[in-house]
Structure 1
Amino acid sequence: MTFLFLLVPPLVAALVAVVVRPYRALVGWLSALLSLVPLAAAILFARQIAAGLPAPTWGIKLDSMGLEDFLRVDSLTVLLLLCVTAVAALTLFLSPGLSGESQYDARQLRRYFVFVNLFIGAMLLAVSANNVGLMWVAIEATTIFSAFLIPLQLNKASLEASWKYILISSVGIALAFAGIVLAYFDFVSLAGRAENALNWTVLSAAAPALHPEVMRLAFVFLLVGFGTKAGIAPMHTWKPDAYGESPAPLAALMAASLFAVAIYAIIRWKAVVDATLDDHFTDNLLIMLGMLSLVIAAFSVVLTTNYKRMLAYSSIEHTGLICLGLGLGPLG
Structure 2
Amino acid sequence: MNFALLLFPPLLAALLAYVVRPYRVAVGWTGAWLSLVSLGSALAFAASILAGSEAPTFGPSEMLRADSLSALLMACIAGVATLALFFSPGLGRESPYDAAQLRRYHVFVNLFIFAMLLAVSANNVGIMWIAVEATTIFSAMVIPLALTKASVEASWKYILISSVGITLAFAGTVLAYFDFVALSGRTENALNWPVLLSAAPHLHPEVMRLAFVFLLVGFGTKAGIAPMHTWLPDAHSEAPSPLSAMMSGVLLAVALYAIIRWKVVVDATLGPAFSNQLLLLMGLFSLLVAAFSLVLQRNYKRMLAYSSI
1:279-302 deviations in whole A, cap 9, x for unaligned?
Answer: 411001001100110000000111
1:76-112 deviations in whole A, cap 9, x for unaligned?
Answer: 1111011000000000000012277721111111000
Q: Which residue of 2 aligns with 1:321?
A: none
CA RMSD of superposed structures (Å):
1.0
1:242-275 deviations in whole A, cap 9, x for unaligned?
Answer: 0000001100000001000000000000000001
1:40-70 deviations in whole A, cap 9, x for unaligned?
Answer: 001111121111111110022xxxxxx1x11
Higher alpha-carbon deviation: 97-106 or 170-179: 97-106
Q: Which residue of 2 aligns with 1:306?
A: 299
The equivalent position to 1:204 in structure 2, one of 192, 197, 201, is 197
Distance in 2, Cα, partners of 1:286 & 1:100 = 44
SS of equivalent to 2:189:
coil
Q: Which residue of 1 aligns with 2:5?
A: 5
Q: Which residue of 2 aligns with 1:56?
A: 56
**Equivalent residues of 1:95, 1:101 under 8 A apart:** no
Q: Which residue of 1 aligns with 2:181?
A: 188
**Equivalent residues of 2:25, 2:92 under 8 A apart:** no
**Equivalent residues of 1:94, 1:100 under 8 A apart:** no
Q: Which residue of 1 aligns with 2:41?
A: 41
Q: Which residue of 2 aligns with 1:82?
A: 75
Distance in 2, Cα, partners of 1:172 & 1:100 = 38
SS of equivalent to 2:276:
helix
The alpha-carbon distance between structure 1 residues 101 and 148, as it changes in their structure 2 partners (threshold 3 A), is farther
**2:140 corresponds to 1:150:** no
Q: Which residue of 2 aligns with 1:117?
A: 110
Q: Which residue of 1 aligns with 2:26?
A: 26
**Equivalent residues of 1:207, 1:276 under 8 A apart:** yes
Letter in 1 for 2:202: A
* Percent of paired sites with the same residue: 71
Distance in 1, Cα, partners of 2:260 & 2:25 = 40
**2:288 corresponds to 1:295:** yes
Distance in 2, Cα, partners of 1:51 & 1:253 = 29
SS of equivalent to 2:308:
helix
**2:228 corresponds to 1:235:** yes
Distance in 2, Cα, partners of 1:266 & 1:101 = 40
Q: Which residue of 1 aligns with 2:169?
A: 176
Distance in 2, Cα, partners of 1:179 & 1:248 = 33
Q: Which residue of 2 aligns with 1:256?
A: 249
Report the TM-score when normalising by structure 2: 0.98
Distance in 1, Cα, partners of 2:23 & 2:240 = 18
Offset of residue 26 of structure 1: 0.5
Distance in 2, Cα, partners of 1:143 & 1:20 = 25
The runs of 5 or more residues in structure 1 that have no matched partner are: 61-66, 317-332
The alpha-carbon distance between structure 1 residues 54 and 160, as it changes in their structure 2 partners (threshold 3 A), is same
Higher alpha-carbon deviation: 122-131 or 273-282: 273-282
SS of equivalent to 1:305:
coil
